[in-house]
Structure 1
């Protein structure tokens, strides 16, 4: 079997309403969808975490892989990715992320060739109902959606998710640069949701160490399951650990520093950003050996989410719910997408490979959105147009 073509399509998939995060208003995702075609008719699907990695695939990865055996992952990687020790030193790691998106498609091909879902290729399922969190944030009104701009509105939203979907796991960003507002919202959430619901927070590094000490001291009595990136560095998280027992997580996959410093406790990562599924499996195994937890990223489309489902299904070490923005996504590129949880979980697909297929009409719609509007910006601060925010906010 040989790779005959690699097709890259840029798409925009907006959220029903933008949400506030540290860098401004986040309105949706601009992704690159990858289709790897073979001379035997098998087509694998991949997804790049942001559209500009698709340009790297078109310019560098695709030409190198034409004629390669899609089942020989080592050979494919050797054609595309320089040694990581060098690229980490020179800042030229875009090829690693770009290849990670393509490598996902190679795993999809492998599952289709062997006629089994990805989780079976990974050793079999230890669970098939995969937990995901609901998400909350301060969101302005937009075309009839959003409007959660007060603590009361966020509480009402979470209660509605519990009533309508059986949700008891909630994660959110309370990012307005106001410590008192976050403390008040957390208190109200715990009082409304009761003692058994999980509440996790994500600050996107908005707090200084001094402010983070105050915030975590005040919210610790409300049984916070996890706080993601409360401050900007691992060193600051280690200092913060002296004042708080709340676990910390991060998107920065630096396991050695986390072990050396004792914080953070969990990693939350996109598989392509780690260099592909093979490297992700090695990273998770290293986390297990070092006593660090792992769960999966959010704001991905259905192809990457399917990969999350299969890996979590096959990995006993991943026990915490992964992040999701499923409820806010207005569409997807896969048939019957986006995934949406019921009772906190999504069922792992049973089809061959990733178990998902592209929806041609959806691809046409969302690629046209990209072509007409360009990529969706997520660093937009309407209070200070044309300027990037600087951290910390407080």
Structure 2
């Protein structure tokens, strides 16, 4: 079998309402959908975590892989990704991320060739219902959606998710630069959701060490399962650990520093950003050996989410629920998408490979949205056009 073509399609998939995070209002996802075609008539699907990696795939990764055997992952990677010393020396890992998006499609091809779902290629499923959190955040109203701009409104929203979908696991960002607002919201969430609900927080590194100490001291009695990136560095997390027993997680996959400093406790990663499924499995195995937890990223489309489902299904070490923005996505590029959890879980697909199929009409719709509007900007303050948001650290 040989690779004959690699197609890249940029798409936007907006949320029903934008949410506030450290860099401004987050309106939705801008991704690249990858299709790897073969002379055997099998097409594999991949997804780049950010659209601009799709441009690198078109310019460099695709030409390098034409004619390669898609089942020979080692050969494919060696065509596209330099030795780790080069990446470490230059700080340039774009080729690794771009190849990681394509590598997911190669696994999809492998599963389709052997007629097996991805989790069977990885050793079989130890679980088939995969846990995800519901998400909450401060969101301005947009049409009929959003409007959660107070502690009471966020608590109402989470309570509605519990009543309508049986949700018991919640994670969110409370990023308006006001420590008291975060403390008050957490207190109210615990009161309204009860003792058994899981509560996780994520500040995207918005707080100074001084402010984080104050916030964590106030919210620790409310049984916070995890706080993601409460401060801006592992060193500050290590200092913060002296004042709080709340576990920490991060999107920064630096296992060596985490082991040396004792924090963070968990890594939260996108598979393509780690370089693909093969590298992700090695990373998770290293986390297990070092006693560090792992769960999956959010704001992905159905292709990457399917990869998450299969890997978590086949990996006993991943026991915590992954993040999810499913409820806010107004569309997807796969048939039947987006995935939506019920009673905290999504069932792992059982079809060959990733077990998902492109919805061509949806792909065209969201590709047209990208072409007409450009990529969705997550990094600017709408109150200050043309400028990046600056939150006071406190």
Tell whether the structures are fold-level matches, with TM greater than 0.5: yes
2:205 matched residue in structure 1: 205
Contact persistence 2:177–2:391 (CA under 8 A): no
| CA displacement at 1:385 relative to structure 2 | 1.8
Contact persistence 2:237–2:264 (CA under 8 A): yes
Contact persistence 1:333–1:362 (CA under 8 A): yes
- Quote the Cα distance in structure 1 between the aligned partners of 2:86 and 2:57: 20
1:385 matched residue in structure 2: 385
Aligned structure 1 segments of 4 or more residues deviating by more than 3 angstroms: 390-393
* Gapped regions of structure 2 (runs ≥ 5): none
2:251 matched residue in structure 1: 251
| CA displacement at 1:92 relative to structure 2 | 2.0
Give me the TM-score of the superposition, normalised by structure 1.
0.99
Any idea what SS the aligned residue of 2:159 has? helix
1:115 matched residue in structure 2: 115
- Quote the Cα distance in structure 2 between the aligned partners of 1:392 and 1:12: 31
Any idea what SS the aligned residue of 1:346 has? strand
- Quote the Cα distance in structure 1 between the aligned partners of 2:89 and 2:331: 38
- Quote the Cα distance in structure 1 between the aligned partners of 2:149 and 2:31: 28
2:186 matched residue in structure 1: 186
- Quote the Cα distance in structure 2 between the aligned partners of 1:92 and 1:174: 32
| CA displacement at 1:84 relative to structure 2 | 1.9
- The aligned runs of 1:72-221 (5 Å cut-off) are 72-221=72-221
Any idea what SS the aligned residue of 1:275 has? coil
- Quote the Cα distance in structure 1 between the aligned partners of 2:348 and 2:210: 42
- Quote the Cα distance in structure 2 between the aligned partners of 1:336 and 1:95: 32
- The aligned runs of 1:230-241 (5 Å cut-off) are 230-241=230-241
Structure 1, residues 35-75: CA drift from partner, whole Å, max 9, x if none? 00000001000000000000000000000000000000000
- The aligned runs of 1:224-303 (5 Å cut-off) are 224-303=224-303
Structure 1, residues 208-265: CA drift from partner, whole Å, max 9, x if none? 0000000000000000000000000000000000000000000000000000000000
Contact persistence 1:205–1:391 (CA under 8 A): no
Contact persistence 2:211–2:393 (CA under 8 A): no
Contact persistence 1:104–1:276 (CA under 8 A): yes
CA RMSD of aligned residues (A): 0.7
33-42 or 88-97, larger mean C-alpha shift? 88-97
Any idea what SS the aligned residue of 1:147 has? coil
2:54 matched residue in structure 1: 54
- The aligned runs of 1:35-46 (5 Å cut-off) are 35-46=35-46
- Quote the Cα distance in structure 2 between the aligned partners of 1:88 and 1:371: 35
- Quote the Cα distance in structure 2 between the aligned partners of 1:249 and 1:92: 24
| CA displacement at 1:390 relative to structure 2 | 3.8
- Quote the Cα distance in structure 2 between the aligned partners of 1:84 and 1:174: 37
- Quote the Cα distance in structure 2 between the aligned partners of 1:175 and 1:99: 33
Contact persistence 1:205–1:392 (CA under 8 A): no
1:359 matched residue in structure 2: 359
**Equivalent pairs, count:** 394
| CA displacement at 1:382 relative to structure 2 | 1.6
Question: Is 1:17–2:21 an aligned residue pair?
Answer: no
Contact persistence 1:30–1:375 (CA under 8 A): yes
- Quote the Cα distance in structure 1 between the aligned partners of 2:163 and 2:77: 47
Any idea what SS the aligned residue of 1:36 has? strand
Give me the TM-score of the superposition, normalised by structure 2.
0.99
Any idea what SS the aligned residue of 2:17 has? strand
115-124 or 381-390, larger mean C-alpha shift? 381-390
